[in-house]
Structure 1
Amino acid sequence: MKTQYYTATSVDGYLADEDNSLDWLFQFGEIEEIEGVKDDYPQFID
Structure 2
Amino acid sequence: MKRRFDTDNIEKHFFSKKINVAIFFYFMYNNIKSTVCQMQIYIFMTVLEKKI
TM range (shorter): under 0.3
Q: Please tell me whether Structure 1 or Structure 2 has the larger radius of gyration of its CA atoms.
A: 2
TM-score (norm: length of structure 1): 0.25
Q: Which of 1 and 2 has higher RCO (CA within 8 Å, sep 6+)?
A: 1
